[in-house]
Amino acid sequence: MKKRSSTPEKYIFNLLAKKDYTKYELTQKLKNKFGINTEEINNILQRLEELQLIDDNRFKYRFILNKLLNGDGPYLIQQKLQQKGISVELNDIEDIAIKEGISLEKNAKNLILKKTSLINETDRLKLKKKTF
C-alpha cells in the first residue's frame, strides 16, 4: 500500500529524497496535490532554499552536464530545461561543455552516426561525406 504524505512539507521531502526538482516543478506538484495558494508554496520553497535542498542554478548545471555527457545537443537541452521552468542561453550550455571538456562537435557526429545507422551502407557513405 502506498504511503500518503500528510503535509505539503513531508510530500516535498519525500520527492527530494529521490531526485532533484526545480522550483517550478515543485510548485506544480504542490498545486496539483494540495491545492494550496501561491504564498504558502513560496514559503515552503524559500525554506527549502535556506536549507539548500533546492537550487535552480545547481539543478541547471547538473542537468546540462548530465545531458551533454549523454550526447544531447544544446537545443534539446535548452528545450528540456524550459519545460522544467528554467531558461538558459545556448552560450551557457556551450560554456559548461567547454569547462567540462565535452566536445559538442563530437556529440553531434555521434548523434548523426546513431540516427543514420538504419540507412543502407551506400546512402550512409554519401551522407557521411556531406557531413564530415
What are the tens digits of pLDDT across the range 25-75?
A: 999 999 999 999 999 999 999 999 999 999 999 999 999 999 999 999 999
Condensed to tens digits (0 to 9), the pLDDT of residues 86-102 reads 999 999 999 999 999 99
CA angle 12, 38, 26 (to 5 degrees): 30
Q: Give the up-direction half-sphere exposure of residue 47: CA atoms within 13 A in the CB hemisphere.
A: 12
- pTM for the model: 0.78
With a cut of 90, say whether residue 3 has pLDDT above it. Answer: no
% of the chain at pLDDT higher than 70:
83
* Higher-scoring residue by pLDDT: 2, 117: 117
C-alpha cell at 115: 540516427
